[in-house]
Structure 1
């Protein structure tokens, strides 16, 4: 499992396995968020199996699938309150971790500083500098 910490509240990861859920719980994560649609590619673990493992290990489970390369404002509108209210720390995953990072960045832009958000993502291995215009747009939705 390739966990990349963004800050004390959220880490992201590429696709996890059912077996990885126990390790996530052992590491202290409280909420597991799947931003990847079921059946996105052949051989991908079934989300129902990961959800069952999350429940077995005492993790909150959130299934919030988002199409790769097509994160909408509605996706950000759903992610923002979920991440705000989720029991922390959160581990969010998708195919590569990028979708989760973009969702976090766009929702964080509503109340945070874009430069700090870009730096946190970069420190986790994700270059989101190109999101600056969308982050500025999201900042207008603060509150």
Structure 2
């Protein structure tokens, strides 16, 4: 598991497993957001099983599965609601890209596009292709 902090209250990571949960708890994470659809790759933990273990360990759990490139307004709104829970929050998918993309889209009404792109870049993600969509959302604030 490779955790990449984005802000003081939000990080992204690649696939989390049940074996990672105690480490995440020790690091202080309170909320987990899984952005992987089940069955994406062989051997990937099922979201329901991971959710049960995470909840048993006291995490808030949200499953907002995203197929590559399909960032619906509903998924962005659901992600924004999940962010409003207990902090800090860790969102994860296969590489972290879908999670940070959802985060940026959910934050676009609150923060300038350039700031969001900069935070993503500092965490190792190039979201420059998302700039037009972020700018439109930022302009509505």
Scaled by the length of structure 2, what TM-score is found? Answer: 0.94
Task: Give the root-mean-square deviation of aligned CA atoms.
Answer: 1.2
Residue segments in structure 1 that go unaligned for 5+ positions in a row: none
SS of residue paired to 2:37: coil
1:31 and 2:31 correspond: yes
For 1:110, the equivalent position in structure 2 comes to 109
| Rounded Cα–Cα distance in structure 2 between residues aligned with 1:113 and 1:5 | 19
1:82 and 2:82 correspond: yes
1:97 and 2:96 correspond: yes
Contact 1:71 1:103 in 2 (8 A): yes
For 2:137, the equivalent position in structure 1 comes to 138
The alpha carbon displacement at 1:74 in A equals 2.1
Any idea what the Cα deviations from partners look like across 1:9-43, whole Å, max 9, x if unmatched? 21000111110111111100000110111111211
SS of residue paired to 2:90: strand
For 2:124, the equivalent position in structure 1 comes to 125
SS of residue paired to 1:52: helix
| Rounded Cα–Cα distance in structure 1 between residues aligned with 2:68 and 2:95 | 10
| Rounded Cα–Cα distance in structure 1 between residues aligned with 2:54 and 2:61 | 6
Residue segments in structure 2 that go unaligned for 5+ positions in a row: none
The alpha carbon displacement at 1:80 in A equals 1.7
| Rounded Cα–Cα distance in structure 2 between residues aligned with 1:140 and 1:74 | 20
The runs of at least 4 aligned residues of structure 1 exceeding 6 Å deviation read none
SS of residue paired to 1:39: coil
Scaled by the length of structure 1, what TM-score is found? Answer: 0.93
The alpha carbon displacement at 1:92 in A equals 0.5
| Rounded Cα–Cα distance in structure 2 between residues aligned with 1:104 and 1:39 | 23
